[in-house]
Amino acid sequence: MPLFDKPLSELREYRPERDEQPDFDAFWQRTLAEAREHPLDAEFTPYDAALSLLDVFDVRYSGWGGHRIAGWFLVPAGTTEPLPTVVHYIGYNGGRGFPHDWLATAAAGYATFVMDTRGQGSAGTPGDTPDPVGGANAQTPGFMTRGVLDPDDYYYRRVYTDAVRAVEAAAGHPLVDEERIVVAGGSQGGGITQAVAALVPGLAGAMIDVPFLTGFRRATEIVDTMPYGEIVKYLAIHRDHEEQVFRTLSYFDGTNLAPRGTAPALYSVAMMDMTCPPSTVFASYNHYAGPKEIRVWTYNKHEGGQTFQTREQLRWLRDLFKNEG
Amino acid sequence: MPLFDKPLSELREYRPERDEQPDFDAFWQRTLAEAREHPLDAEFTPYDAALSLLDVFDVRYSGWGGHRIAGWFLVPAGTTEPLPTVVHYIGYNGGRGFPHDWLATAAAGYATFVMDTRGQGSAGTPGDTPDPVGGANAQTPGFMTRGVLDPDDYYYRRVYTDAVRAVEAAAGHPLVDEERIVVAGGSQGGGITQAVAALVPGLAGAMIDVPFLTGFRRATEIVDTMPYGEIVKYLAIHRDHEEQVFRTLSYFDGTNLAPRGTAPALYSVAMMDMTCPPSTVFASYNHYAGPKEIRVWTYNKHEGGQTFQTREQLRWLRDLFKNEG
Amino acid sequence: MPLFDKPLSELREYRPERDEQPDFDAFWQRTLAEAREHPLDAEFTPYDAALSLLDVFDVRYSGWGGHRIAGWFLVPAGTTEPLPTVVHYIGYNGGRGFPHDWLATAAAGYATFVMDTRGQGSAGTPGDTPDPVGGANAQTPGFMTRGVLDPDDYYYRRVYTDAVRAVEAAAGHPLVDEERIVVAGGSQGGGITQAVAALVPGLAGAMIDVPFLTGFRRATEIVDTMPYGEIVKYLAIHRDHEEQVFRTLSYFDGTNLAPRGTAPALYSVAMMDMTCPPSTVFASYNHYAGPKEIRVWTYNKHEGGQTFQTREQLRWLRDLFKNEG
Amino acid sequence: MPLFDKPLSELREYRPERDEQPDFDAFWQRTLAEAREHPLDAEFTPYDAALSLLDVFDVRYSGWGGHRIAGWFLVPAGTTEPLPTVVHYIGYNGGRGFPHDWLATAAAGYATFVMDTRGQGSAGTPGDTPDPVGGANAQTPGFMTRGVLDPDDYYYRRVYTDAVRAVEAAAGHPLVDEERIVVAGGSQGGGITQAVAALVPGLAGAMIDVPFLTGFRRATEIVDTMPYGEIVKYLAIHRDHEEQVFRTLSYFDGTNLAPRGTAPALYSVAMMDMTCPPSTVFASYNHYAGPKEIRVWTYNKHEGGQTFQTREQLRWLRDLFKNEG
Amino acid sequence: MPLFDKPLSELREYRPERDEQPDFDAFWQRTLAEAREHPLDAEFTPYDAALSLLDVFDVRYSGWGGHRIAGWFLVPAGTTEPLPTVVHYIGYNGGRGFPHDWLATAAAGYATFVMDTRGQGSAGTPGDTPDPVGGANAQTPGFMTRGVLDPDDYYYRRVYTDAVRAVEAAAGHPLVDEERIVVAGGSQGGGITQAVAALVPGLAGAMIDVPFLTGFRRATEIVDTMPYGEIVKYLAIHRDHEEQVFRTLSYFDGTNLAPRGTAPALYSVAMMDMTCPPSTVFASYNHYAGPKEIRVWTYNKHEGGQTFQTREQLRWLRDLFKNEG
Amino acid sequence: MPLFDKPLSELREYRPERDEQPDFDAFWQRTLAEAREHPLDAEFTPYDAALSLLDVFDVRYSGWGGHRIAGWFLVPAGTTEPLPTVVHYIGYNGGRGFPHDWLATAAAGYATFVMDTRGQGSAGTPGDTPDPVGGANAQTPGFMTRGVLDPDDYYYRRVYTDAVRAVEAAAGHPLVDEERIVVAGGSQGGGITQAVAALVPGLAGAMIDVPFLTGFRRATEIVDTMPYGEIVKYLAIHRDHEEQVFRTLSYFDGTNLAPRGTAPALYSVAMMDMTCPPSTVFASYNHYAGPKEIRVWTYNKHEGGQTFQTREQLRWLRDLFKNEG
């Protein structure tokens, strides 16, 4: 049934109970503090992308554990003043690709920073960033269960931390106006964006499309698609780890992160999305603590609004910075 | 078997017999002459795309039968001199989308013209151009068999003609350097590009990725994928129309058009492409009459080189215009 | 879940609100009046079908826009008196095939008239009737979205009109008793039959099997099968056309046509039919204004009662004409 | 690859070695002799099929083991003289259905006799004939491996025998001209027809469409479709029975039966048929000993010529009986 | 939706109305009495299984109709005293395989008896037992509809009887302690186990995993998987046999058998099991009349607890016999 | 086509050129030497498996990098003398499960040692061994491309080393006769076994079923199944890493390892195996340097001989040790 989840009228009011561990905030403070013990050491190397309207840089900076994370940085050719900036996070399995894959916000005149996702980058677009940390437990192929028995070992602890550090790396660049940084991403990128919105104060905005990594338990109960399905596959074998797994996931669940976000946010959701079901998206949206809007795409699956959503974003960004200016 | 077609060493030498009707050239001369009886009447309306680095225009011009064809035109903001220009054609079922879908060649500094495909534009990206001509025969859903019993009625007669007129519309714009027009496209867009390269003299170049619309008969015999499969579905029912259908298709087959192309060309092919099989691509590439190169992607299906091919194209374009300058 | 729709007890009472535009009747009066400006000009050409028990004719008559529509006409060999007559409409994508495809009602002794569906006839059985009208908008492959942005342009405006004219063409033949015409069809043919039952007064009966083209919006929400899925695919891309599309469809929706039908009707429905869901069938059945019966097939999908339903129909027809006689 | 089998030019010459056991003919003589020890006892009970142009009878007669086999018998209403007759056999899993399912040859004026297939009749159309004999070995679901370890126990021994007795039952009816009996069927029905053509002398003709049950070993090696795939599934488990199974099958293989057929035959084959691969069809066709023709359908799968083939058959039958008359 | 059935809290209370025929018990008394008219004649032939820790026997005994049923019997090498014993029944389509396929209860020190399933044994593991009884009606491929129109003819009448006789054959062996016999099986084997628990007094225990053959009607309405789907396929064709079929099945339905079982039972159920849906399992579990426990596997499909359930069983057996001792 | 690979007669002679790097042997000597710098430190902890015929131990020992690897060790209860021993390796994604999953060789009287596969163990059966080493490059989900850009970083360097150390851990146990150790496994386990046979001198035998990890390049060209397909997916994105990847893989390719194996070997291969194609199996089998036999399963896919192959192995082991004794 295409409209398989709750009806829209219910979703608008859907605020499920949150399941947070008492040390939730302490966990993240400790995590970020540890990461910051490594110098950020951001490098921006000019890169010949054959794009004459832009100045392009190949980026490296230190994320979780001091591991070097790759990225791109694009500004209009000849820029000399700090610009409003968009920091992009990437969907599951994808990598940073090439600079010409990131032109929309660049052509709109914003400084554009892209974070590669560690370990990923072998589907859709190539990535260049290894995850030098192995698993602390047997895992299902994919990234969802890597280290899933302990929040300290969990893969997304490293990724969310990399993402916070990406904002810091961007903010340190002279062409970035650190008061005007927007974070953005779809699917996994949307989940990361939501986490960053919770963990980084002072952001100018967040654009969160069809976010993944939110409402883990409900997702495993109502859809059997990947990547949430990696958790199901793991638990189908490790029948004795159910509570331990969901305890770990609670530290990374958008439902728990969203109430800590305060920057203006533009969400999107697709009503026929069986990858990131609408109720899991509204679970975090309805808990989000900042000013917020959501675009609802009725006849779409996980692709969501696609180019329509990009149009919405370009307009929303223009309004955001116009109003601020 | 992933490497399902001939081995690469054979493909490099594969030049199948062409099957051209005697009036092939006459047919196209007559077709274009008829189209040109309608005034081109190209309109370029400024469009607010929220892309501050570019000036963007919503285009309309008269294609086959004088029907109005939609498009986009993008130039670097503030351009005043004629630029080298890339005219883009679109893959099967897709439409012109929004201006932010066409940024690669624009960000590289070229004038960028996009032609919508009539009737299509309801998959991937939206289109705005109807095909007001109906079928002259019962047809299989899709566009491959619309009017397929007679070359005069065939759908691609209208599309190829629209594409020739697109070059004319671009060439007439004051910011386009008509000596430096390159045509480009992938899949159906690659097939159209190949046709335009054959039908329009004086082009600066052609970028033809994993082209469709070439080697029709062989394609129906070695793959059962869409859209070539639409022909198979049609012939599975209209068992009495086989020769008539392939006679029509011969006027539109890249194998017959390629030998009439003389501009420098950059092709690509994917060895595991079951949508546009490598032997059908080499069938036209090996017959192509101009200077040519081909990028071979070994482990790819119809996606071909994707962002890698874009990188190749940006470099090839830069070399092309550097050498010419 | 095989019994995916409402339970039968609810379906028997299910009468959803109708959503009719104020000019619904005016639209159809105007449409039919325009079509009748073209002379019907029905031709019945003797055809050698190698069926010695029947006299067979290849039919052509003018449907919507005066376009020539193909058909078959079969009567028992040597018939000289007007007969009760069945006019058949065809399922999606199918064509009129050959006379030996239409033997059930003919062998039962009725005059049998078959209408080809314009443009279709390239799946299952071949057709011979083009739809010379093109689209007024970009469309999804298939027929469901051809002209869907305006009721005047919509494909089924032409088809329903052809179908009304088919009854007129049959009625004009000397071997047809125009007081005893029954219309019949399954799936798309059932939807057309329902429309004809609403638009043509004085019919003797209607046999409507697992009808399509009824309850469009609900269908797009509860099943993702073709052909309703063509609308979903269209709206997934043309995200800005939702209301416009459903407004157009309301003129063609069986739920709105059924209340205008008054001839005795034999419906069928299948409880596991994911192509034409049972609630959409009951939506029109429960609104139907004439005497009516419905056969419910519990363990069937869209095939419905098949040969069992044919048996029901042959008996129902015999009773119908016996009672009338 | 749609054209997955040998090219047509090779197929026309393809005459594989036959693998016959020395007692092949003795086996069948003994089998039929045993069956004939049971009285045929054919019953023709008038049946109200609501088909006024035909007289219809529900048939029962004794097949293999004296088991009662169901059937239908249709003649033009009021027939008094013996007619040329077509005896039909049915495709895999199907049953005799209702009389209105068998109208083509009836409407063409031939007496029409239909044999139900024992045990089958639970897909497509219902059947009424049990197979009261159980298996002599563990079997794969389906009928292909029922009793497959011994020719005496094999399911098709019973079915072929029933089929021979069907001709005898038909021949005994006063409205059947026993000099003018044609046997016919497609797929499994085609395989049975081929067997009957080998085992019954004096037939007027045989119409054998896309026959199954021929070239068993090659079929298991080049396609993985059902029902040949039932043999593969069996051998995948019973790894120690391979030679025993193929020995049994050799008594039932069309390649061995065809050389024993002498009546004029009309075959058909489809070049993309992955259920009954073209090389297995040509294996028997090329060995067939009577006058023969074959219709080749290039772009078809197992559906073959469908309604086109019916047209061919009606014409071929008319010519057959015209020439004989 | 993975959790497609009722929620666990409802399932724990789910006790649907039973639908038993008045002669239910009489039917089974008569059936078993008839079977016992044939001498059991159990043979245990030493078998060289190359398993030095065990003594292994190839078993044959007379089941329903006196037909010889195959089995295995394993005891620790050199056993001389009667042992607690486990009698195993097998899942759908599987056969007894080889002795090394049945080592868990044997290595745990129990006498281990395995019953082959008549006719089956051609998937997963090979079987050696034919079902010499044929069908009394046309059937769907598979075993679910073999003889389904009459309880006396139904396939599972024979299988359940074989299973009762298996316990009798085991009990008669000098190394089996007939006071300490446990029956066991999963899926079809679980359904058979449940039947034996109802039909055989004095069992020491029953281990019933994800049982099949219970809640037939509900199963056909909520899942479309095999083997329940064989009933759906049958009824989709034999539309006139619905009540007759469900009447037959009521004699074999675990929901009606469970209330007659009194031995201690260990059940298992999987919440995402679409082959044997949880509500059909709880339907019988909640009606079961003996002491009982159930293991619930949340994230599993029909595989259920697999090796985890084996671990549960080995522990449950040890406790069972420890407590008894 | 089920028999998709070369015919058996060709396979028996198929000895493709090997592609070894000059430092192949040095690489492995260095690798093993490094591993042996960590003390083996094998621990055997008694484990209550509820299997009274066996003594069972939970094993831990240090594999590559000194990482602790889990395993099981089973001997007949009360064993006091060293036994011939079988060391088992596991198929892709599986884990060591529970002791009752490893009973065949144990019940045959051999000491049985099972090595868990690091990181795996989340499909089929659970595992307990993490791979604490992360990737040195972006990777495709799964284990095939983890560290694939450098032989030193490649995942299977660690696994093969663990496997060599497993033999050392077993050999050190007092109940293991180190002169009579056989290594065994299927699929990935077969590939590992082949590697161990090459890297460990003095083994008594090797049982290698349908081995994976051999003939990498050919495998990627003729099948598109997982897990070889992980390499294809990686190269489809990382189009620039093809040669580097195949260079790494050459150090781990069974084709290069087999010529270094000298112990008696029992192989198996399945002719319809699309996961580990027969030509890749014969590529290593034909290069294998010791006495060897191969069982060919004609109608099987990757399941190969299953329980039949177990029977072959139990007999082969008995003969092996009988001949030695």
Task: Identify the chains in contact with D, defined as 3+ C-beta pairs within 8 A.
Answer: B, C, E, F
Report if residue B143 sits inside a domain.
yes
Using a CB-CB cut-off of 8 Å, the residues of chain D touching E148 are: none
Report if residue F250 sits inside a domain.
yes
Touch between chain A and chain E: 3 or more Cβ pairs under 8 Å:
yes
Give the single-character DSSP code of C316: H
* Closest by Cα among D5, D59, D1 to D210: D5
* Closest by Cα among B119, B97, B285 to B193: B285
Residue B104 at interface with chain C, using a CB cutoff of 8 Å: no
Q: Are F44 and F56 in contact (CB under 8 A)?
A: no
Interface test with F, best of A139, A154, A230, A231 (most F CBs within 10 A): A139
Nearest CA in chain E to A224: E2
Number of H helices, E strands in chain F: 11, 11
Asked if the Cβ–Cβ distance from B3 to F236 is below 8 Å, we say no
* Secondary element (H or E) of residue F76: strand F68-76
Touch between chain E and chain B: 3 or more Cβ pairs under 8 Å:
no
pLDDT at C59: 98
Residue A65 at interface with chain F, using a CB cutoff of 8 Å: no
Residue A300 at interface with chain B, using a CB cutoff of 8 Å: no
pLDDT at B324: 53
Compute chain D's Rg from CA coordinates.
19
| Cα C44 from Cα C58, distance rounded (Å) | 6
Residue B242 at interface with chain D, using a CB cutoff of 8 Å: yes
- Whether pLDDT at E61 is above 70: yes
* Secondary element (H or E) of residue D315: helix D306-324
Q: Are A264 and A181 in contact (CB under 8 A)?
A: no
> Which of C1, C297, C301 is closest, CB to CB, to E239?
C297
Report if residue B325 sits inside a domain.
no
- Name the burial class of residue E316, with classes exposed (0-12), middle (13-18) and buried (19+) by CB atoms within 10 angstroms of its CB: buried
Nearest CA in chain D to F273: D236
CA geometry: angle E241, E246, E249, nearest 5 deg: 125
* Active-site amino acid positions of E: 187, 273, 302
Ranges of residues in chain C whose predicted pLDDT is under 50: 325
Q: Which amino acid is at B80?
A: T
pLDDT at A178: 97
Asked if the Cβ–Cβ distance from C224 to A2 is below 8 Å, we say yes
Residue D133 at interface with chain F, using a CB cutoff of 8 Å: no
Residue D303 at interface with chain B, using a CB cutoff of 8 Å: yes
Using a CB-CB cut-off of 8 Å, the residues of chain C touching B121 are: 138, 237
Q: Residue B130 in 3-state DSSP?
A: coil
Compute chain C's Rg from CA coordinates.
19
Chain C nearest CA to D256, separation (Å):
34
Average pLDDT in the A293-297 region?
98
DSSP A29-55: HHHHHHHHTS----EEEE---S-TTEE
| Cα E258 from Cα A322, distance rounded (Å) | 72
Whole-Å CA distances, A245 to A120, A222, A252, F116: 22, 18, 11, 22
Touch between chain B and chain D: 3 or more Cβ pairs under 8 Å:
yes
> Which of A299, A303, A305 is closest, CB to CB, to C235?
A299
Q: Are D5 and D278 in contact (CB under 8 A)?
A: yes
Asked if the Cβ–Cβ distance from A107 to B103 is below 8 Å, we say yes
Which residues, 6 or more positions from F91, have their beta carbon under 8 angstroms from its beta carbon?
Answer: F124, F185, F186, F187, F188, F189, F212
pLDDT at D325: 44
Query: Would you say how long chain D is, in residues?
Result: 325
| Distance in Å from the first CA to the final CA of chain A | 46
Residue C162 at interface with chain B, using a CB cutoff of 8 Å: no
Dihedral sign from CA coordinates of C183, C185, C188, C194? positive
Asked if the Cβ–Cβ distance from A100 to B49 is below 8 Å, we say no
pLDDT at E323: 63
- A195-245 residue pLDDT tens: 999 999 999 999 999 999 999 999 999 999 999 999 999 999 999 999 999
Residue C314 CA to its chain's centroid (Å): 18
Residue C1 at interface with chain E, using a CB cutoff of 8 Å: yes
Q: Are E61 and E169 in contact (CB under 8 A)?
A: yes
Whole-Å CA distances, D143 to D134, E137, E149, F144: 11, 14, 20, 43
pTM summary value: 0.97
Chain C nearest CA to E217, separation (Å):
11
| Domain containing residue E266 | 8-317
Residue B222 at interface with chain A, using a CB cutoff of 8 Å: no
| Cα E191 from Cα E261, distance rounded (Å) | 12
Residue C66 at interface with chain B, using a CB cutoff of 8 Å: no
* Secondary element (H or E) of residue E180: strand E176-186
Using a CB-CB cut-off of 8 Å, the residues of chain E touching D129 are: 138
pLDDT at A324: 53
Asked if the Cβ–Cβ distance from B134 to C130 is below 8 Å, we say yes
| CATH number, position E221 | 3.40.50.1820
Q: Residue F317 in 3-state DSSP?
A: helix
Question: Hey, what are A315's tokens?
Answer: 């307009």
- 């011994």: which residue's tokens? D150
Asked if the Cβ–Cβ distance from E138 to D145 is below 8 Å, we say no
- E77-128 residue pLDDT tens: 999 999 999 999 999 999 999 999 999 999 999 999 999 999 999 999 999 9
Residue F262 at interface with chain A, using a CB cutoff of 8 Å: no
Question: Hey, what are C219's tokens?
Answer: 């269908």
| Cα A253 from Cα A248, distance rounded (Å) | 9
Beta strands in chain B (DSSP E): 43-46, 54-62, 68-76, 83-88, 111-115, 122-123, 125-126, 176-186, 205-209, 265-270, 292-297
> Which of A222, A223, A236 is closest, CB to CB, to E299?
A236
Asked if the bond preceding A227 is cis, omega within 30° of 0, the reply is yes
DSSP F113-179: EEEPPTT--EESEE------B--SS---SSSTTTTTTSTTT-HHHHHHHHHHHHHHHHHTSTTEEEE
Per-residue pLDDT of chain F (325 residues; tens, 9 = 90+): 899 999 999 999 999 999 999 999 999 999 999 999 999 999 999 999 999 999 999 999 999 999 999 999 999 999 999 999 999 999 999 999 999 999 999 999 999 999 999 999 999 999 999 999 998 899 999 999 999 999 999 999 999 999 999 999 999 999 999 999 999 999 999 999 999 999 999 999 999 999 999 999 999 999 999 999 999 999 999 999 999 999 999 999 999 999 999 999 999 999 999 999 999 999 999 999 999 999 999 999 999 999 999 999 999 999 999 865 4
Whole-Å CA distances, F48 to D7, D30, E120, F54, F68: 64, 65, 36, 10, 21
Residue B153 at interface with chain D, using a CB cutoff of 8 Å: no
Q: At what angle do helices D228-237 and D242-250 cross, to 10 degrees?
A: 150
pLDDT at F261: 98
Which residues, 6 or more positions from B243, have their beta carbon under 8 angstroms from its beta carbon?
Answer: none
B92 is in an annotated binding site: yes
Asked if the Cβ–Cβ distance from C235 to A1 is below 8 Å, we say no
Q: Residue A206 in 3-state DSSP?
A: strand
pLDDT at F323: 63
Q: What are phi and psi of A221, to 5 degrees?
A: -95, -25
- A131-182 residue pLDDT tens: 999 988 999 999 999 999 999 999 999 999 999 999 999 999 999 999 999 9
| Binding-site positions of E for substrate | 92
Residue D97 CA to its chain's centroid (Å): 17
| Cα B176 from Cα B55, distance rounded (Å) | 13
- 């389906």: which residue's tokens? D142
SS3 letters for A117-178? CCCCCEECEECCCCCCECCCCCCCCCCCCCCCCCCCCCHHHHHHHHHHHHHHHHHCCCCEEE
pLDDT at C136: 87
Question: Hey, what are F246's tokens?
Answer: 């195949």
* Closest by Cα among D297, D291, D292, D301 to D310: D297
Using a CB-CB cut-off of 8 Å, the residues of chain F touching A233 are: 122-123
Touch between chain E and chain F: 3 or more Cβ pairs under 8 Å:
yes
pLDDT band at A325; cut points 50, 70, 90: very low
Q: At what angle do helices D155-171 and D188-199 cross, to 10 degrees?
A: 70
Give the single-character DSSP code of D100: G
Which residues, 6 or more positions from A284, have their beta carbon under 8 angstroms from its beta carbon?
Answer: A194, A211, A214, A215, A254, A255, A257, A258
* Closest by Cα among C226, C224, C216 to C284: C216
Report if residue A2 sits inside a domain.
no
Which residue stretches of B143-262 are H helix? 155-171, 188-199, 216-222, 228-237, 242-250, 254-257
Residue B318 at interface with chain A, using a CB cutoff of 8 Å: yes
| Cα F110 from Cα E53, distance rounded (Å) | 10
Report if residue A325 sits inside a domain.
no
Asked if the Cβ–Cβ distance from E145 to D122 is below 8 Å, we say yes
Chain B nearest CA to A103, separation (Å):
6
Q: How many domains does chain E have?
A: 1
| Binding-site positions of E | 92
pLDDT means per 10 residues, chain B with 325 residues, are: 94 96 98 98 98 98 98 98 98 98 98 98 95 91 96 98 98 98 98 98 98 98 96 97 98 98 98 98 98 98 98 98 69
Task: Identify the chains in contact with B, defined as 3+ C-beta pairs within 8 A.
Answer: A, C, D, F
pLDDT at C1: 85
Q: What are phi and psi of B101, to 5 degrees?
A: -85, -5
Q: Are B256 and B156 in contact (CB under 8 A)?
A: no
- Name the burial class of residue A322, with classes exposed (0-12), middle (13-18) and buried (19+) by CB atoms within 10 angstroms of its CB: exposed
Paired sense of beta strands D176-186 and D205-209, if any: parallel
Report if residue B17 sits inside a domain.
yes
Average pLDDT in the D312-325 region?
88
Q: Are E303 and E33 in contact (CB under 8 A)?
A: no
pLDDT at C301: 98
* Closest by Cα among E107, E123, E112 to E88: E112
- Whether pLDDT at E325 is above 50: no
Q: Residue F268 in 3-state DSSP?
A: strand
Beta strands in chain A (DSSP E): 43-46, 54-62, 68-76, 83-89, 111-115, 122-123, 125-126, 176-186, 205-209, 265-270, 292-297
Q: At what angle do helices E242-250 and E228-237 cross, to 10 degrees?
A: 150
Q: What are phi and psi of E144, to 5 degrees?
A: -70, -25
ipTM for the complex shown: 0.96
Asked if the Cβ–Cβ distance from A133 to F134 is below 8 Å, we say yes
Asked if the Cβ–Cβ distance from D238 to E126 is below 8 Å, we say yes
pLDDT band at A1; cut points 50, 70, 90: confident
Interface test with E, best of D122, D238, D239 (most E CBs within 10 A): D122
pLDDT at A51: 98
Q: Are B166 and B61 in contact (CB under 8 A)?
A: yes
Report if residue D323 sits inside a domain.
no
Q: Are D126 and E238 in contact (CB under 8 A)?
A: yes
Residue B129 at interface with chain C, using a CB cutoff of 8 Å: yes
Report if residue B97 sits inside a domain.
yes
Chain B nearest CA to C271, separation (Å):
28
Using a CB-CB cut-off of 8 Å, the residues of chain D touching F308 are: 239-240
Using a CB-CB cut-off of 8 Å, the residues of chain A touching E305 are: 239
> Which of D222, D232, D242 is closest, CB to CB, to F1?
D222
Nearest CA in chain B to A317: B50
